[in-house]
Amino acid sequence: MTKAELIEKLHKSSGKALSKKALTGLVDEVFETVAKAVKKDKRFTYPGFGTFSIRRRAPRVGRNPKTGVEVKIGATRTVVFKPAPNLKSSV
């Protein structure tokens, strides 16, 4: 699902009480808030949906697929998502 499809679905389910422009602003604000929460608190949990958290990836050795030369890849931090049991079992 794309952002536009999400906005369209929300617009229809709201009975068209909210404009697409207002819904776009709302969706953008929700995702910005989630991103800030993950950055600040290192996790964001939404009950029944799942948890976004930050995980450290250890340094490793990769390989350039074109030349085959080994390349050192440094440690990084990334955002991971762990679905809630209800969501996981329904998929």
Per-residue pLDDT of 16-49, as tens digits, reads 888 999 999 999 999 999 999 999 999 999 999 9
Closest CA to 20 of 32, 31, 11, 9: 11
Paired strand residues for 62 = 71
Tell me: do 57 and 13 sit in the same domain: no
pTM of the model: 0.74
Tell me: do 51 and 34 sit in the same domain: no
**Predicted pLDDT of residue 85:** 94
Provide the residue range defining the domain that includes 55: 42-62+69-91
pLDDT in tens, 49-63: 999 999 999 999 999
Tell me: do 50 and 87 sit in the same domain: yes
Query: Which residue is it, tokens 């799942």?
Result: 50
Structural domain count, the chain: 2
Tell me: do 32 and 54 sit in the same domain: no
Identity of the residue numbered 23 = L
| Measured distance between the N- and C-terminal CA atoms of the chain, rounded to whole angstroms | 15
Tell me: do 6 and 28 sit in the same domain: yes
Tell me: do 58 and 16 sit in the same domain: no
